[in-house]
Structure 1
Amino acid sequence: MKESIQNVRVENSFANLPPSFYTRLSPQPLTEPRLLHANPEVAALLDLSPAALAKPDFLDVVAGNQPLPGGQTLAAVYSGHQFGIWAGQLGDGRAHLLGEVVSPSGRWELQLKGSGRTPYSRMGDGRAVLRSSVREYLASEAMAGLGIATTRALALVVSNDPVYRETVETAAIVTRVSPSFVRFGSFEHWSSSPENLGALLDYVVDRHYPECRDAVDGAPATQARVALRFLRAVTVRTARLLADWQTAGFCHGVMNTDNMSILGLTLDYGPYGFMDAFQVDHVCNHSDSQGRYAWNAQPSVANWNLYRLASALLGLGVEADALKEQLQEFEPAFLQAYRNNLCRKLGLLAWTDGDDDLLDDWWRLLHTQKADFTLSFRSLAQAPLDSAQFFQRFHDRDAAGAWLDRYVQRLAQEQRPDPERIEQMNRSNPLYVLRNHLAEGAIRAAAQGDVGEIDTLLKLLRDPYTEQPGHEAYAAVPPEWAGRLEVSCSS
């Protein structure tokens, strides 16, 4: 591993696109920046040793004081639909792409979030606050621990610089890591420019979807065929991502097309939330007054967003009916991943007739009882043998017992050994998730310069399925005050 960030291999593939795709500019440094936390697991992806994270040149790069050695710093332009309404040109309003690190594990773009104004900031100040930065830093690693596709977080830098939101807060910068930060909105931006749209398609396909160029009957695939295959692949990845979100009780909060990754990654952690008390129409974003991005609406919103991506590809002369045909892959891909996930969470070997009814009644039970999402699923492993923990989750014991009887009967059909089933279920139903009140505790400690809660949460969230003695409070029903926490688009 490299002992200094000066020694990593850097390329600039996005910077090789036409100049209209971005603006080259430097970040706006923070005053007296401090490295609050660095992530050795993500550093290892970049072939950086833990020792490299403690050196001054690392802080210089992740604070925006110096460019990534060999990198070409830029802010990308894109457009998008926000809350279902066309917003026109958007772009990296508070983010700077530093370059692309090439390591044995792959190619990783490094992006600073909160690093100052760009030509795409509109009325924004280009900054991120400590509160939202800690939440993103922890959330991306929590999702990785759950095995859900996501961007990652390398470093968290703080400063005493004031940032004005609902109140005066302090500034921070998160270094985000991803194979690509291209979004659905990147394609929407160029929908009326066939030349640039084609260049973007070539760039993304060549780097991330090369199989879309496979020959057909010995002949090279046409641009139209590549576009169709690309849309199909993105549709399937997005469907699988949404199945993972739904079965983890995760709500993104702002599923605008400019927040949808072209690689099917969880991107842009703002007002997200892991559900505590289950409500099928739970809205985690206080700014979402219409409930557009409620938990039960997320799959349909993702499908709607894919239609917006398909509409952008019309600019390449692809037939509308052919594009619609690719989009039909969303529902079967989602259902297959959704049912596979739930088979593991429920301890079933295979989905059979009648399981949809059993699951619907499970969601109904959780909803009417406002039962804790994570702990209710976790309690199912032992419920057929010892139902005490299970019944603790519900105030209507009769309703819970009636459903449990049906569940036990369903398990009996497979005659699966209990130890085998329990092991699978406990590796599929996490004990620890990043609940809002846990993130809030880490934020309050970090504001005092204490990273102990960040360290503890990262330890638990990297292996959320294994019980850690002495950390019972992190796997408990949230305290009463947690219900008063609100996250919004300013988060």
Structure 2
Amino acid sequence: MMDNQLSRESSLEVTSLEELAPMADYSLMNRLNCDPGATPDGVDFRPRQVFSGHYVPVRPTPIETPEYVAHSEGLFRELCFADSLARSDDFVRMFSGDLSLVPEPMSKVGWACGYALSIYGTEYTQQCPFQTGNGYGDGRAISVLEAAINGRRWEMQLKGGGRTPYCRGADGRAVLRSSVREFLAQEHMHALGVPTSRSLSLYVSKTETVRRPWYSEGSHARDPDQLISEPVAISTRVAPSFIRVGQLELFGRRARKQEHPRALEELEQLVLHLIDREYNGVIDQTLATPTKVVMLARAFRSRLASLVANWIRVGYCQGNFNSDNCAAGGFTLDYGPFGFCEVFEPFYQPWTGGGQHFAFLNQPAAAERNFKSFCSALRPLLDDHEDELAQLDEIQQGFPDVMQAEMQTMWSAKLGLETFDTELFKQLMMLMTQTPVDYTVFFRELSSIPDDIEPIKKSFYRSLDEPGIAGSEALLER
């Protein structure tokens, strides 16, 4: 159990890695299985198949001549980190990818994890370079620290930290442009009350660049039409863990197909580790594994439905809500192709390659598919437990009702209603689709209703008096 480690508290500001080092506690590497084919020194940068084990030791590739860009002052306060730490030489060195000089007991090697890929509930293996599914995983995300700080456990992961065995031939790097977007989005979502990974720090290389697709000046093309050189950056994201639904799927598939002798054992180890990391205090640790599995499914269902309702509340669209981008802890995990609704579009999709199934108001359906994948991954642990298996099936089948209840509660709150009004909501959606309307401004100005409807009119991009939207003002006056 992890309670003893979590009891450690930092009563003073952390001003150096020497002061942070005693808080290091690598529960994943200490309690789960290392890939038997891994190299102990973490020099493991070529794409290869990983057949078993929960993680691969990987040494990050430092960016050249790192320069400070930003750190999250809010998260630093939560962690009791002094703001000066973000610019200190040892901190910059570590969180720009160089672990060679970290003080003990910090690890000089990070770790990357494999996962499966399911798109809208359908598992894919052919896109793996080996066409087996054993090459998917953290291709450019390398965790470098797990620490118990002020009663909470945090994992710190470098995005853009270089190649891993899962890089599939890519360069393992992130660029400054997308790193800034992710950094700001994580802290913005946190401020809006949406469960999310957090931003710790961001460093850019003064000299290292990579080529990336982008748009030429004045382009109106759907897809990027040129390659440009962009500065390499490393951002550090923070969460209680980075265990994904896709990870559970990978180990569930191995157990289901009996791909190696310890496959079922490794699935159980991962599930129990997930409970320790993300559901400690929610699920009684003394219970038998089958009971824990059922409770886990029910708890994750609640978190996932609430998360997606929160996304829609603030106008956020994940864009690529595959199972590997779905955190098993129930928070927003990955800010790859994402966006926020400006003009309200039910099928708004910020990613040109995302497809309508991951569009804005289709996110509840995508979440249901991910939850189905989650439950399927757990099933091998319940094969000999008919009662618990039946409970799991019932929990899975109940997802649409839980999701609908969360959505109705959210819409009622946005509309200032005590209870959900189905007919009013239908008319409102029709009005917002036809006019069109600014999603954020509309609901901000709605707080001035019913005393005066004039302020809300400015959220519409067309006049309410124009042909085709007659009756709109009457609806707003209801």
TM over 0.5: yes
Aligned to 1:18: 33
Are positions 1:365 and 2:431 aligned together?
Answer: yes
Q: Contact 2:435–2:469 (CA<8 Å) still a contact in 1? A: no
Aligned AA (1:71): M
Structure 1 CA distance for aligned equivalents of residues 164 and 112 of structure 2: 7
Q: Contact 2:209–2:230 (CA<8 Å) still a contact in 1? A: yes
Residue-pair matches, total: 401
Q: Contact 1:24–1:74 (CA<8 Å) still a contact in 2? A: yes
SS of structure 1 residue aligned to 2:230:
strand
State the superposition RMSD in angstroms.
2.0
Sort the Cα spacing of 1:105 and 1:147 in 2 relative to 1 into closer, same or farther, 3 A.
farther
Structure 2 CA distance for aligned equivalents of residues 112 and 211 of structure 1: 28
- Unaligned segments of structure 1, at least 5 residues: 410-491
SS of structure 2 residue aligned to 1:174:
strand
Are positions 1:248 and 2:314 aligned together?
Answer: yes
Aligned to 1:207: 277
Aligned AA (2:412): C
Structure 2 CA distance for aligned equivalents of residues 213 and 194 of structure 1: 21
Aligned to 1:2: 14
Structure 1 CA distance for aligned equivalents of residues 470 and 413 of structure 2: 22
Structure 1 CA distance for aligned equivalents of residues 382 and 99 of structure 2: 43
Aligned to 2:448: 382
Please report the TM-score for the alignment, with normalisation by the length of structure 2: 0.80
Aligned to 1:293: 358
SS of structure 2 residue aligned to 1:21:
coil
Aligned to 1:140: 186
SS of structure 1 residue aligned to 2:352:
coil
What is the aligned counterpart of 2:405 among 298, 320, 336?
Answer: 336
SS of structure 1 residue aligned to 2:302:
helix
Identity, % of aligned pairs?
33
Aligned to 1:259: 325
Superposition map of 1:110-259 within 5 A: 110-159=156-205, 160-166=207-213, 167=227, 168-191=229-252, 192=255, 193-210=263-280, 213-214=283-284, 221-259=287-325
Sort the Cα spacing of 1:373 and 1:222 in 2 relative to 1 into closer, same or farther, 3 A.
same
Structure 2 CA distance for aligned equivalents of residues 137 and 65 of structure 1: 21
Structure 1 CA distance for aligned equivalents of residues 28 and 453 of structure 2: 55
SS of structure 2 residue aligned to 1:111:
strand
After the TM superposition, list the runs of 4 or more consecutive aligned residues in structure 1 that deviate by more than 4 angstroms. 398-401
Residue deviations 1:110-136, cap 9 Å, x none? 000001000111121100111111110
Superposition map of 1:48-67 within 5 A: 48-66=81-99
How far did 1:81 drift?
1.0
SS of structure 1 residue aligned to 2:92:
helix
Q: Contact 2:315–2:341 (CA<8 Å) still a contact in 1? A: yes
Sort the Cα spacing of 1:207 and 1:267 in 2 relative to 1 into closer, same or farther, 3 A.
closer
Structure 1 CA distance for aligned equivalents of residues 281 and 402 of structure 2: 19
- Unaligned segments of structure 2, at least 5 residues: 1-12, 35-52, 126-132, 214-226, 256-262
Aligned to 2:419: 351
Q: Contact 1:45–1:105 (CA<8 Å) still a contact in 2? A: no
How far did 1:174 drift?
0.6
Sort the Cα spacing of 1:104 and 1:404 in 2 relative to 1 into closer, same or farther, 3 A.
farther
Residue deviations 1:136-162, cap 9 Å, x none? 001101100110000000111111312
Sort the Cα spacing of 1:315 and 1:35 in 2 relative to 1 into closer, same or farther, 3 A.
same
Structure 2 CA distance for aligned equivalents of residues 54 and 214 of structure 1: 42
Aligned AA (2:212): R
Aligned to 2:143: 97
Structure 2 CA distance for aligned equivalents of residues 156 and 285 of structure 1: 24
Sort the Cα spacing of 1:45 and 1:5 in 2 relative to 1 into closer, same or farther, 3 A.
farther
Aligned AA (2:28): F
Aligned to 2:380: 315
What is the aligned counterpart of 2:62 among 22, 29, 51?
Answer: 29
Aligned AA (2:74): E
Q: Contact 2:116–2:123 (CA<8 Å) still a contact in 1? A: no
Structure 2 CA distance for aligned equivalents of residues 45 and 330 of structure 1: 34
Are positions 1:80 and 2:147 aligned together?
Answer: no
Structure 2 CA distance for aligned equivalents of residues 85 and 264 of structure 1: 21
How far did 1:407 drift?
5.0
Q: Contact 1:46–1:102 (CA<8 Å) still a contact in 2? A: no
Structure 1 CA distance for aligned equivalents of residues 361 and 453 of structure 2: 28
Residue deviations 1:329-380, cap 9 Å, x none? 42333233323322332222x115xx12211221221111121110111111
Are positions 1:280 and 2:346 aligned together?
Answer: yes
- Once the two structures are overlaid, the 10-residue window that deviates more, 200-209 or 177-186, is 200-209
How far did 1:309 drift?
1.1
Aligned to 2:45: none
Structure 2 CA distance for aligned equivalents of residues 378 and 262 of structure 1: 32
Structure with the bigger percentage of helix: 1
Structure 2 CA distance for aligned equivalents of residues 271 and 195 of structure 1: 35
Residue deviations 1:63-88, cap 9 Å, x none? 01126543331112222214544242
